[in-house]
Structure 1
Amino acid sequence: MKRIMLLSATAAILLTGCVSNKKYAELEAEQQRTQDLLNTATVKLNACLADEAAARARLSALKEEVANLRKSNNDLISTQGNLTTLSAKGAENLEKSLESLKEKDLQITRLQDALTRKDSVTLALVTNLKRSLSDQNDEDIEVNVEKGVVFVSISDKLLFKSGSYTIQPRAKEVIGKVAKIVIDKKDVEFMVEGHTDNVPITNNCVRDNWDLSVLRATSIVRLLQDEFDVDPGRMTAAGRSEFVPLASNDTAADRAKNRRTRIVVLPKLDQFYEMIEEGMEEAKQKSGEGGN
């Protein structure tokens, strides 16, 4: 009996040992699968962590890029605003420059008009003087224009006796013709210049050639005023003595050329400037109308 019980116990122990080994193998296999899964999960986790790190780095880079883009955009907007302001100022300055050029063009045109009117007056005056004095000897009377100024040069042999400032009767006809032309030209004034040669002169009435040249000029001015009613406010008497000669004074013929009286006909400068100022004012008004 005891032997049977011992065999039974031994069988039970053996049977129990067999079940445990099988279970152990299964458990070991399960553990291996679990370990494999864990390893796979660890690999995937590490890959995910690496991806996350890369993503975070990319995100940081993108954020920095976005910040830079925003700054650049703000800078561009600011620059555009500045450029717009500069463009507006530039356009305004350009417009002002164009208006100024237009005004200057108009002023130049008005100035040219004034000069043209002056030249027209001068031309008409010269034409009338030459026509009026055409019957006189060309050697005794010359009418010419120099730099826009009309000169009537009359030889002293026609006007005065040697060393005298008394006008000869026959000279009054010539002076009267000149007076007839200039008296109606209210926009001109004139100067009478006396010129002598270099031969010294001294007598009870005349001290030197300065005196003689001035006295001859004043004689002509008085004649124009007293006998031909020329406004004295339009006349000037001047003596140039021997110091503006036409010739050398070395010969009698040259000295005769130097003894002369010149009537210098000028446009009234105040009226000429008024013509210019009127033109300038008109140009400004027209420029202002164009700007409006």
Structure 2
Amino acid sequence: MKIGFIGFGEVGYEMTKGFISQDSRHDIFVYDPLYEKAETKARAEEAQAMLFNTPLHVVQQELDVLFVAVPAPYSFDAWKSAASHLTRTTICVDLTTASSETKKQIASELHSTNSKFVDAAIMGPLKGNQHKVPMMVSGNASKEFMAWGKELEMNLEYVSDVPGDATNIKFIRSIFTKGLSTLLHEVMEIAEKLEMDETILASITSTIDKEPFETVMNRLITGNVLHSERRVKEMENVIAFMLENDVEPHMTRATRDKLLNISNTDLKERFHGKAPTHWKQVMQSINHGE
């Protein structure tokens, strides 16, 4: 296999090591703006990749697959500079965290050259997983890329033929994963300060572990329909409590504001003062007025 990377940071480095460990006969060609740095050269040597000083040298290698793994703001320009030199057989895979709109623009740009485009969203840690890291894929060449990746034992999940759909899944999931990490940070910051961290951890663990996650989620979301107003006042008291203890309540304020937003809707009236039975009813009511 001939594989190319424009961008040879953690993503390109870890995936390249995985490809080579899977089959040392792969030819891997890479470019990175920091190609002159000793660290970049050492990475390329360790990963058995040929390091070039321009992205065009990578693109001109008659590649089976070209991955772009640059910082999101540079994604569109990276593809635009490569587009006219791509062969029609190369599968073009964007691994960046650029927006879905940018992915659509890239796909449109490549479409003019009859190129095959895949929006690939990395859904797990690269270290340890390397090229087998879970990815969601969308775009016109997604199924072809999945067939190619299967031979290399990649972990790919098809979303749709629409570029940007895979990225949207990653972004929505990030609201939860990054939000949860910062929420837990804030919780344990105040808990440890008051020497209550073990008690709080045990209490939260008991709440989360005693039921399936969707059951917990269902109860929490549907409960807000009836109780958001009361919970706004509770969170205002919590904010005051945290400030008294010199802990900045960033996530707590956000919780208060979201509850206030829910309180200002007519959800309670729509459900006639009764809690809905399923969280999806709440979302359908908010998004579609059902």
With structure 1 as the length reference, what TM-score do the two structures score? 0.26
Give the number of the structure whose residues are more often helix, by fraction: 1
